[in-house]
Every structure is written in structure tokens, then in C-alpha cells.
Chains A and B, each alone.
Chain A
């Protein structure tokens, strides 16, 4: 029983982070229909950058965090400006491929600057375990889930009520019509990439504050893909619901199947098995926008 609760709580917390990172996909997809394949690398890069600020440069927290946020926004701006903008109006496949290029480029930069492959961030959250019922859980998980949820709510509100958020959603529907309204679509794309990098950075900090910085962070990006595919490529609600589902399946499956199968890797393939099943049953995902067709 205690074991189960523990799996549930850590699964939920990790799932929330996946959901948060998945937003980085949804935002870009919603405004420009480009699949952002560089998610995992963005997470990795910002985690290392945080390490650089906090540990190597030894900045205090209040200085390091704003710097990381600024850095992630700047990174998003630069990516859009240098990699994607020149390809506007080109076939969508080229744009998606360029994000893959960006991914490898970032990975290269990361190995260049931080050649060591693992590092640990200082602990930001109180570490003493708390008891929830019979389970003993590290307090960090609760903090992480809470922060993810807050960021999540803020973003959802932004997209629902802010004029830039509404314009981003409009751009996803019809780019030409948005331009006819006199709205600069380039600015919208640029903003959406800045957002993607921002959530990737927050997700990266949260993940690595628990598990340390490893190349496994790139996989977090992959997990986020399974979240968006399960939840629907263009749905925030989908991401917030699918994230914990993936996190739970992973933890519960990992916890209970590993002793039976005797192979620890089973944890990592569960999300992808879910993707395959979802694609067969619900191709738009749980909450994806079904193409509107009036007959």
C-alpha cells in the first residue's frame, strides 16, 4: 500500500513536468503547425545553463533564476529568427526537419561547453520527506507538481484571454487571414518559440532538481511527445491530463512490472506503447481539435 502511494505521487509529479514540457510542443504547434522536435534538447540545454549559473558562476538563486528565464526567452527568439524564419512559406516538412537540426546543434553546443555528462543541481526545495498516509514521499515531488500546475494555469489563462494568446490560436487556424487583419505573423511565431523555450527551461530545472542533469533529459522531451500525442497535439487540457497519465503508467508499470519481467527498461517503453494504442483508437488524441467540417 505504501509502495503504491509512493508510485502514485512520484508518478503524478513527474507527469506534471512532462505536461509542462509538452506545452512547449503545443504552443509551437498551435501557432505555426510546426512539430518542435528540439524539446528534449531545449530541456537539456536550459538545465545545463542553470547549472552554469548556479554552480559554476556561483550566482545566488535570486539572480540565477531570472537569468535562466531571460536566457530561455532569448534562445527561443534566436531559434525562430535564425532557423525558422528564413523558411517561412516553405513546405512544413522542411520546417520540422530544421527543428531536428536545431536539436542536434544544441546537443553539440551542450557537449562542447559542459563535456562532463552528469552533474547535480543544488537542492532548491526542502528535502525532508513527508508522510502522506502510509507512504513516505520526498517533499520535492509535491513542490514540483505544485509549480508545474501554477505555470500551467497561467499559460492556459494567457491563451484564453490575452490578445496575444488569442492571436496565436487564430494563427494556427488561418495564417493568411491573420495577416489580412494586419497582425505580424512573424512576431507570433517568435513569441511561440520563446514560450516553448521558457516552459522547457522551467521543466528542465524541475526535472534536474530531482534527478540531476544527465543526457536522459533528452528523453524527457520524448516523453513529452507521448504526452502531446495522447492528449492531442493542440490541446492544453489534453497535455495536463495526459501528462500525469503517462507519468503514472511509467511509475506503476516500472514499479510492478520490473520484478516480474526482470528488465528495468520496461519503464521507458510504456509511454511509447501508449502512443501506439492511442494512435490506433483516437488519432486526434484524447482532446485534440477534430478538424471542423461543415457539410
Chain B
């Protein structure tokens, strides 16, 4: 289980981007981290996966615990070995490698080399499209295929916690649903916890068990999926629904803005 205790993250020793974020990811749960651009969602993920130091960022306060042991001082590879794997935002495939080579890179750190082949089949099973493209250069795959590849690469590491940064970014709605279906299937079949960063609140809440809403480097609201999907503020500000639960009509837009309750 992952536990973030009131962490603060500072870039370049001066720019504080997270001001005390706490969150829990129970074993086997899907947790969504929601919020607008610049809320600190990706930074939170990088703090967990140890990628902060690459960008001269640092966890300056609070603690990150994985199954009770602190990991916020550990390097990215140590954290990766513990089974925490992050799929970065923006479909970062290894462009000049083939699809299959991309997947093999995901399995680099595994100690059981014999398990790699079956897992390759497992990933192809989740994403049949990738099997057809296994010999193709990854840089020439379509956006959706690249996103599948990035998620598949994370699966190859047999993670205990998979962190996905905006898997829906720039994809067609149908494809987004397909990918989310697969994430949910992977979660139930392998008991892998998933920490999901999303701007597409509706789709994220459709598969998550629990959600956190972030704004300006703070968690402003958290709760079960039911609670969040019925919360007036979340509906109004993140789902574009009015209080009635219907689509917002811009004809009847009020000339004052609804105040967020959490501010």
C-alpha cells in the first residue's frame, strides 16, 4: 500500500509546487488523481516514482511510504524494483525501437527472465493490435497504438502499483473507453493497484474506486467515486454538468460564477 504523508515538493530549491499532499492507494485499488493543468498531479506521480531529481525537484517535507517503508529518498531504479512503475504523460515510446523491443525494455529489471515471454503474450492478449505491429517501428504507430504500447510497457514490469499519467490525452473517445476497459481488466486480473492521473474526470471516475481532486498543489477534495460523481462542485467544474445533472445549457448561464465550496 502506498501512503503519501503531507508531502511538499520544491523545484530548484525555490519553486514550491506541492503544498502538503496526502493520499493513500490501497492494494488492488484504482485511485484517480483529478484536477486541471498545473494542479500538481504529474509532480505527485514523479515524487512517488523518484523521477523528480531529474528535473531538479525534491520532496522537501512529508514522507512517502510503500508498505510501511519510506521511499521518498530512493532513486528511480530502486523504486522501480519495488514494483512501482510510472507510464509518463504524452506517449513516450522509444521511437526507433520496434513495438516488441519497447515492451522488452519494460521488462529490463525483472529477475525472472523466463517469465518475460509469457508476459509478452499477456500484453498482446490485452492489446491484440500491438501483436500485429510487433515488428513495426514504434515512432510510426498511431497515437492510440503508442498509448497502448506505453501501458503495455508498464505491464511488462509486472508492477504492483502502476501509475498512469493521462492515458486519455489526445485520443478519440472510443479508444479512450477501450484503453480504460483494459486498465480495469488488468487491475482485476492481476490485483495491480493503479494510480491514475486524469483530466477526463468522467472516464476516470468510471473505473476508479476512490478519487482525489487537486488544485494549486493541494488536495481539495477526496472521496469514493460515488461521492465525487455526485458532488455538485465536481459536476459543475470538472464534468460540465449543472446542478440538475443534465448537460449545461449556455443559454441559461448565470452571470455570477458558482463558488467552489472547498475554497
Chain A: residues with CB nearer than 8 A to chain B? 89, 163, 166-167, 169-170, 172-174, 176-184, 289, 292, 294
- Among A166, A176, A289, which residue has its beta carbon within 8 angstroms of that of B101? A166
A183 CB contacts on chain B under 8 angstroms: 77, 80, 105, 108-109
B92 CB contacts on chain A under 8 angstroms: 174, 176-177, 180
Contact (Cβ within 8 A) B95 A292 = yes
B80 CB contacts on chain A under 8 angstroms: 180-183
- How many residue pairs between the two chains, A and B, have CB atoms under 8 Å in the bound complex? 86
Q: How many residues of B contact A (CB 8 A)?
A: 34
A184 CB contacts on chain B under 8 angstroms: 75, 77
Q: Is there a chain A Cβ closer than 8 Å to B99's Cβ?
A: no
Q: In the assembled complex, how far is the CB of residue B41 from the closest CB belonging to chain A, in whole angstroms?
A: 15
A184-B75, A292-B95, A292-B137 provided; 17 other pairs, C-beta below 8 A?
A89-B54, A163-B108, A166-B104, A167-B105, A169-B94, A169-B96, A173-B95, A174-B95, A180-B76, A180-B88, A181-B153, A181-B157, A182-B157, A183-B80, A183-B108, A183-B109, A292-B140
A166 CB contacts on chain B under 8 angstroms: 97, 101, 104-105
Q: In the assembled complex, how far is the CB of residue A287 from the closest CB belonging to chain B, in whole angstroms?
A: 12
Q: Is there a chain A Cβ closer than 8 Å to B248's Cβ?
A: no
Distance of A170 Cα from B97 Cα, bound (Å)? 7
Distance of A20 Cα from B67 Cα, bound (Å)? 49
Binary A-proximity of B60-75 (CB < 8 A = 1, otherwise 0): 0000000000000001
Chain B: residues with CB nearer than 8 A to chain A? 49, 51, 54, 56, 75-77, 79-81, 85-88, 92-97, 101-102, 104-109, 137, 139-140, 153-154, 157
Q: In the assembled complex, how far is the CB of residue B49 from the closest CB belonging to chain A, in whole angstroms?
A: 6
Distance of A182 Cα from B97 Cα, bound (Å)? 18
Distance of A179 Cα from B96 Cα, bound (Å)? 17
Distance of A167 Cα from B153 Cα, bound (Å)? 13
Contact (Cβ within 8 A) A180 B49 = yes
Distance of A183 Cα from B108 Cα, bound (Å)? 7
* Closest residue on chain A to residue B165 by CB atoms: A180
Distance of A183 Cα from B157 Cα, bound (Å)? 11
Query: Can you list 18 A-B pairs, Cβ within 8 angstroms, ordered by A?
Result: A163-B108, A166-B97, A169-B97, A170-B101, A172-B96, A173-B95, A173-B96, A174-B94, A174-B95, A176-B92, A177-B93, A178-B105, A181-B109, A181-B157, A182-B80, A183-B108, A184-B75, A294-B140
